[in-house]
Amino acid sequence: MRQTWQQWNRRAQLLLWVLTLIGVIAAIPVGASRWELEKTAKQVEFVFDYRDLVQIASYQAHPEQFIKEQLVTMKESGIHSMAVFESSLQDLSWSGRLTLYNSEDVSNLMDMPKPTNEKYTYLLFAGSKEEAALRPVIEATFQQWDIPVAPWSYDGKSGLVIETPVENAVLKSMKPDPIAVQTLYDAGFAILPRFSDRTPYDQEAMNNLLTDYKKLGVTRILFDGDAVKGYRDNPDLKSIAGFADILNRNGIGITTIENSQPQKGMNSLAYLIHYNVARLYSLSDSDAATMTPEGIADRFQLAIKDRSIRMFYLNSAPVSSASKSAITNSLQNIYDSLQGDQGAIAKLTKLGFKTGAAQPFDYQAPPSWHKPLKALVALGAISLIALLINTFLPGVLIPVFVIGLAGSAGLYVLSKSLFEQGLALGAAISAPTLAIIWALSRVRAHTVGNRRPVGGPTTEGKGYTGPPSMRWTFQGISAGRRFTMAIAIFATTSVISLGGIPFVVALLNNITYKLVLEQFRGVSLLHLAPIALAALYVFLYTGDSVIGNIRKLLKMQITVLWVIAAVIIGAAGLYYLSRTGNAGKTFSLDILLRNTLEQTFGVRPRTKEFLLSHPLFFFGLFLALRYRAAWVFFIVGAIGQLSMVDTFAHIHTPLHISIIRVLLGLVLGAIIGMVMIGVWQVLEGAWKRWSPRFAQAKQNLKSGV
């Protein structure tokens, strides 16, 4: 019965490898669809924060003239759009559109007794133009809040009295300053309105506003705060759907901000407007002031090429400089970063992009043939995961595969997103882990395996009579043969690991991942599981038996050296985890190395691949065919193998960039590994030549010769 089950298990193993290969093949056309999508959206938009410009101008001798001059310079520098926030009475006051007073100010102004039971807001418009543009806006805003507004005038100027304290009145958001919007439009800038969800949603008012903005050429909006417009009132008014309908009728898209907390309601709104979404990177005012123009340009180039960023939001701020005895700003630094042969605009032109209004990716609903292909991909992923489990628990392949099918079906019904992410994560872990195990099995076959006796003395002059599985030194394979075998095993291992990539690409082929509206979860597990499983296999599955190896480990005496080693490994693990994922930490030396690699190769290979894991793995393969202790290098090799798959888990990175990055890492890592092998051979040869002489000299000294 047992032999029959083992035969069925072996046949099932072959079948599952076939299903895995079918899944890889089925993933190719799905991935090709993403490749075509990534060729669209070739315009890059630079946006400046108009509020920052007004604030900087307020520290100039002639603010209005300063703004006019800077608008001309910005246009010449390649800035395409100006972002305008929802205004407030405070903003309008700073802009000189009106003057604010409280009840006490008015009593002093009019030489009247101080009111005892009144805390109102009074305002005077700067002129008739300001009154005509702003009065309807102010009255409509406070009407929404049920706050009475009445006419008021003083010294021949018209104004309003608002029956609420100034501290409350300045907190009420209004639509962007219409005078500023018109001025910017007349100056040739596109307008990027910033809407918040701080006021009650009004479908009719929003429809009128966006219809007017459409006439001004507005093609995209950006949200201010933690939610999209209409989110708060959505349960009662279905306002997100109403807002989406207005956006669709006017052909206006939305914008998401990279590295910020996702705004509430963004996913729902993006879906309803058919993913007319552009990703935006915000350059902080501190970075604009402290970074060099070349550094800013390089950062923009990397964001365009590697992260599918199509909009750049430029911030600046007035800064008090004691060394210059003046109020300074970073405007000129921003202009310099955009212009010139090494400026951002020249760099994006070389990449095949041009400046202009940011466009969405040419997203179309997935064709019908995607569904059966994705089903085959899912089947292949389940097979790959089952094969990994069977490696550690031999004989359970068939029930594990059946359970995997049933569980995946249930997960698909529960949540399609979790189904796709779960299988993608499982395949991403399984492929590099199985690759490392295969590589170790090939080394075992050439050393302690049954193919041929390859043992020999463990030390010079001493025989070894123990079991083959416990030999520590293996003779019989020349250095040249070990080198060619290392090349073959390294290449084949990498191919097996790369087999996990099509599953990640096809299963996560969704515009929501491309726009980072949804992120691939489980990145930390992907970075740890293959390493842990490789270590488990090296220490427990390469001896006579798993149980025997566990007993040996439990009986080992723990020394201070072991404790120190554990602390070092733990610290290295924490550092490794700090470098992973979207929130991974980088240091100044890392940034310098990354920039150098980017400038040298055009695409930056991953440091942990080409500089750490791949070279040590290649070098370890060469040593492992002679020294058993070198098998620990397989654990380090798992880092590079999983990293190749993880590269493609960054869905916002274009496929061709990820492919180049992985190939560069493999080639450079192999070259460094070859250098390490060459150095080792020289040192080993010198040791073999000189160690007998040292030993003889030592013996002579002892004997008194």
DSSP H helices in 38-154:
50-57, 63-77, 89-94, 103-109, 128-144
* pLDDT tens digits, 161-174: 999 999 999 999 99
CA distance 266 to 264: 6
Of 598 and 624, the one with more pLDDT = 624
* pLDDT tens digits, 212-271: 999 999 999 999 999 999 999 999 999 999 999 999 999 999 999 998 888 999 999 999
Nearest to 397 by CA among 666, 3, 17, 1: 17
- The torsion angles phi and psi of 464, rounded to 5 degrees, stand at -135, 125
In terms of Cβ atoms closer than 10 Å to its own Cβ (0-12, 13-18, 19+), residue 615 is buried
CA distance 214 to 207: 10
Mean of pLDDT over the chain: 89
Q: How many CB atoms sit inside 10 A of residue 433's CB? A: 29
In terms of Cβ atoms closer than 10 Å to its own Cβ (0-12, 13-18, 19+), residue 466 is exposed
Task: Return the structure tokens found at 653.
Answer: 């990175």
pLDDT of 463 reads: 40
Strands 354-355 vs 326-328: parallel, antiparallel or unpaired: unpaired
pLDDT of 582 reads: 45
Q: Which residues contact 379 (CB under 8 A, 6 or more apart)?
A: 19, 22, 23
Q: Which residues contact 617 (CB under 8 A, 6 or more apart)?
A: 490, 493, 633, 634, 636, 637, 640, 641, 669, 673
Could you tell me the residue ranges of all domains in the chain?
Answer: 43-86+203-355, 91-174, 369-692
* pLDDT tens digits, 614-666: 999 999 999 999 998 899 999 999 999 999 999 999 999 999 999 999 999 99
* Whether 377 contacts 493, CB under 8 Å: no
- Using N-to-C axis directions, what is the helix angle for 479-498 and 614-624, rounded to 10°? 130
Nearest to 383 by CA among 411, 369, 403: 403
- Using N-to-C axis directions, what is the helix angle for 560-578 and 523-540, rounded to 10°? 150
Task: Return the structure tokens found at 250.
Answer: 């006017």
In residues, how long is the chain?
705
* Whether 70 contacts 686, CB under 8 Å: no
Strands 43-49 vs 157-162: parallel, antiparallel or unpaired: unpaired
CA distance 109 to 624: 91
CA distance 663 to 669: 10
pLDDT of 600 reads: 74
Question: What's the mean pLDDT in 300-319?
Answer: 95
* Range among 4-8, 446-450, 536-540, 690-694 rated most confident: 536-540
CA distance 641 to 639: 6
CA distance 522 to 418: 11
Please give the class, per CATH, of domain 43-86+203-355: alpha beta
Whether the pLDDT of residue 586 is over 60: the answer is no
CA distance 306 to 666: 19
CA distance 119 to 104: 8
Strands 157-162 vs 81-85: parallel, antiparallel or unpaired: unpaired
* pLDDT tens digits, 52-79: 999 999 899 999 999 999 999 999 999 9
DSSP string across 150-184? EEEEETTEEEEEESS-HHHHTT--BS--HHHHHHH
Please tell me what DSSP assigns to residue 612: I
* pLDDT tens digits, 186-213: 999 999 999 999 989 999 999 999 999 9
* pLDDT tens digits, 328-344: 999 999 999 999 999 99
Whether the pLDDT of residue 404 is over 80: the answer is yes
> Binning pLDDT at 50, 70 and 90, where does residue 459 land?
very low
* pLDDT tens digits, 339-386: 999 999 999 999 999 999 999 999 988 899 999 999 999 999 999 999
Token pair 């040791």 is found at 687
Strands 319-321 vs 311-314: parallel, antiparallel or unpaired: unpaired
**Greatest alpha-carbon span in the chain:** 119
* Whether 43 contacts 75, CB under 8 Å: no
